[in-house]
Structure 1
């Protein structure tokens, strides 16, 4: 798996091979600053590890990354809506991840059609709608910007977040970009997931 780096890193700073990441491309022209703090690198490593677990459907291990008290929110688009988004505690996630019970995760942009699907299928078909292992990985930075209100920082003012960004194609005028954001908050000195947010161009 290859992640396009958004900052320059020395090889000694690369995530462990246990994360099945072969390398991070160096981009000396990037305007993003290198990560000066170890905890920021930790968020990057955690994000790569979490993505790997989701892609491989290794949910038993993934559950340990969910915030122990707040649980984890899923948002279909950039705008986080506390009234409509689904939040799963560790216990709920474990209960429903292999279940056929369906949830309404939101409404599809453009049609307003309710998106009703099981938790497992939501992750594989919506959260992982693109191969984000080939994405550009950014820290506390938004590269994907559409016309949907992005209120991540307002909803999670004390968070750290990463963005896996896949740029759009020339065929569609760049509008077919996708972003996957993992939002972390500290609890008892460790980072835990409080939200998984998808973003794309909306009508």
Structure 2
């Protein structure tokens, strides 16, 4: 009888130890987060940049500029090498000193886009609430107008995001669509902006 009791106790102890070990393993597994993908990393930076633009915190926005290459700003879908290209420090200095910069040329008239940074941002970057855009994409285009979109030719091998509004007034039948694209390049272990592209229907 005593032998039977000892055997039963040994089995109970073995089962209890296994259950505790399994419980520890389960608890440990819960703390293992899924590995962040390249897409996750880029989209996370994009959201932070959009939030900074919405809040008009341009110092934070500039912190996402590529530290070596800086950022090229394009007022329309076609990216021209002459479009404004700046490093973060120059961007912030231009805001601080209220400089007027030449960003490109207006669609239609061809006149030079000479604007201070803040008005340019309001007209050609955050002209809509892109942080809450109804359509978003990664490495895919949404807005399609009559301007040549040469993003992939200008930045081959790089990844991009797009934020899109199909329009705001029905009388324009979608011709008032607008979108914002971010192009990213890796530096070290992080991704940074190298291009900020506004797009819309052009004449």
TM over 0.5: yes
* SS of match in other structure, 1:153: helix
State the Cα distance separating 1:37 from its structure 2 match.
6.5
Question: Which of the pair is proportionally richer in helix?
Answer: 2
- TM-score, length-normalised on structure 2? 0.77
* SS of match in other structure, 2:186: strand
State the Cα distance separating 1:63 from its structure 2 match.
2.1
- Counterpart CA distance in 1 for 2:69 and 2:123 is 25
Q: Matches of residues 50-199 of structure 1 in structure 2 within 5 Å?
A: 50-82=49-81, 84-135=82-133, 136-168=135-167, 169-199=169-199
Greater CA radius of gyration, 1 or 2? 2
Equivalent residue pairs, number: 167
- Counterpart CA distance in 1 for 2:60 and 2:175 is 35
* Contact 1:99–1:118 (8 Å) recurs in 2: no
Aligned CA-pair RMSD? 1.6
- Structure 1 ranges of 4+ moved more than 6 A: none
State the Cα distance separating 1:133 from its structure 2 match.
2.6
Alignment gaps of 5+ in structure 2: 1-34
